Structure 1
Amino acid sequence: MKKSLSSLLVGALLAVATGVNASDDIATKIATKVADSLNVTVNKVVPSPVNDIYQVYSDKGVFYVTADGSKMFHGNLYDLDNGLTNLTDQAMSEVRRQELAATAGTTIDYPAQDEKYVVNVFTDISCGYCRKLHNEMAEYNALGITVRYLAYPRNGRNAPAWQQMEQVWCAADPQDALDNAKANIKMSGTSNCDAAQNVAMHHSLGGSFGLSGTPAIVLEDGTMLGGYLPPAKLLDVLEK
């Protein structure tokens, strides 16, 4: 009887161990396949809410891949049984919250005197709606909304806006430099400083969040809003 029980315990432990190794093997296989096929950096692979589908977190957003690594889709996954909950955005919210917390000291901030809310805004100095948002900064601040700017020159490293945003972040007074850049005042000064690295870091972060344009507003809890919102409308969203 004792021998039989021992055999059962060993068998159970082996089954658990095999299951863990199999999951690790699947995750490694999927990570390698996605990285090689899409030329992206894979940060994490976990089971998705759908059986035999894995959720892949990368520097270009979230992908869903079959367990055998042969099929993939990119987009939002919704829960039809729970009010069309966006499960993809729900999963990304905590990731965004943690990664944005790590950007402290690298953003250009416009603090509200009576701060009630803090929003993170990925911005591009060549973006029309980014300039519109910036022109209304006093209204956001008056409503108790602090704005933390992250750099996201949406046309990439070879676009003029990239170097200009490096100049902004390198300036002795980055806030004043950003005000001028948003007003289309010709930039001067160096783009070669330690702070210039923040532009590349923010841009990479935005890519991992799946940004498709600017401005992109991310709330403190990691929720990402789609594009520009007027001050009163943003306050309404925050109060809910």
Structure 2
Amino acid sequence: MTNRIRLKRAIAAVTVGVLAASTLAATADDSQSVAAHLASLYPNTPFRDVKPAPVTGLYEVTMGQNIAYTDASGQYFLFGHLFDMQNQVDLTEQTQAQGYKTRFPEQFLDHAIKTVHGNGKRVVAIFSDPDCPYCRAIEKELQRVDNVTIYTFLYPLESIHPGATNKSIRIQCATDPAKAWRDWMTSNRLPPLVACHHPINDNLVLGSRLGVTGTPTLIAEDGRMLPGAVSSTQLEAWLNAGQRVPSAGDQDSAAASAPAQGVAQ
């Protein structure tokens, strides 16, 4: 028996045990009291949303960008994806996507540098630092991806890249921010510093709300997040995955795919 099979069986056993222990039906009326109970148990954890899960006795809990499942006691938490096998739907991913749309109002797209490749049918947002080496790597890969609209949010991590904020402002305030961004990332050419009403501080607030913890971080139109640099082939597959309904079998294929190169934090 392989280690992978053992791990899957162990996870399944734990899952069954947790679900069996939750014998009381979770209702919407109980959600408020459960939320208050969780807040008292874990005062340093920001519980943003608590609601009944599709599984009897469990609640779906949103904490930042993380989603977990717990019972009314709050002693045990199950992290992972909950699938509706009959309809082949990833319910956890649906919640994540809805949360993304709720926290990412369309008007914030005006803060981004917009680039359109081909017909621009697919849409992706990327939080990027001008001094992040992984951001440079993924920019090269993005140039190879066609038929996509890219919204680049300048997200300088000043604590690890001193001077990145100044560069971001110079790029954002340029006459043509898209060209300025491309010139910097490909040729290290910066435009002169000019005064303008820039959205850099707003970008930092937005990224924090969305759960961005490093650069680069990509967010698909359906809410999926991808931290780190990946190849253009992986980007194509990731973007196209949002065009179909995910199935439970996708977890194995995702595990088999090559990981991202890295993320600056």
TM-score of the superposition, structure 1-length normalised? 0.66
Instruction: Give the counterpart of 1:28 among 36, 39, 45.
Output: 36
SS of the aligned residue for 1:139 comes to: coil
From the CA coordinates, give the structure whose radius of gyration is larger. Answer: 1
Aligned length: 212
Q: Which residue of 2 aligns with 1:216?
A: 217
Residue of structure 2 equivalent to 1:203:
207
- Offset of residue 146 of structure 1: 1.6
Shift in Å, 1:92: 0.2
Ranges in structure 2 where 5+ consecutive residues have no aligned partner: 1-26, 242-265
The offset of 1:145, in angstroms, is: 1.5
- The 8 Å contact of residues 170 and 196 in structure 1, kept in 2 or not, is answered as no
Is 1:62 matched up with 2:67?
Answer: yes
Q: Retained in 2: the 8 A contact 1:76–1:86?
A: no
Q: Secondary structure at the match of 1:149?
A: strand
Contact 2:167 2:190 in 1 (8 A): no
Normalised by the length of structure 2, the TM-score is 0.61
Verify: 1:122 aligned to 2:127, yes or no. Answer: yes
Bigger helix fraction: 1
Number of the residue aligned with 1:94: 98
Contact 1:166 1:199 in 2 (8 A): no
- Pair 1:47 & 2:48 matched: no
Q: Which moved more, 1:216-225 or 1:77-86?
A: 77-86
Question: Is the contact between residue 112 and residue 153 of structure 2 (CA under 8 Å) also seen in structure 1?
Answer: yes
Distance 1:110 1:31 in 2: 42
Report the CA distance shift for 1:100/1:21 in structure 2 as closer, same or farther (over 3 A).
closer
- Same amino acid, percent of matched pairs: 24
**Cα RMSD, aligned residues only:** 3.7
- Relative to 1, partners in 2 of residues 1:43 and 1:81: Cα closer, same or farther, differing over 3 Å? same
The one of 37, 40, 43 equivalent to 2:44 is: 37
Change (3 A) 1:163 1:50: farther
Report the secondary structure of 2:51's partner residue: strand
| Aligned position for 2:177 | 174
CA distance change for structure 1 residues 137 and 21 in 2, over 3 Å: closer, same or farther?
closer
CA deviation after TM superposition for structure 1 residue 26, in Å: 1.9
| CA positional deviation for 1:57 | 2.2
Corresponding residue for residue 11 of structure 1: none
Question: SS where residue 214 of structure 1 aligns?
Answer: coil
Query: Which residue is 1:234 aligned to?
Result: 235
Alpha-carbon distance in structure 2 between the residues aligned to 1:29 and 1:199: 33
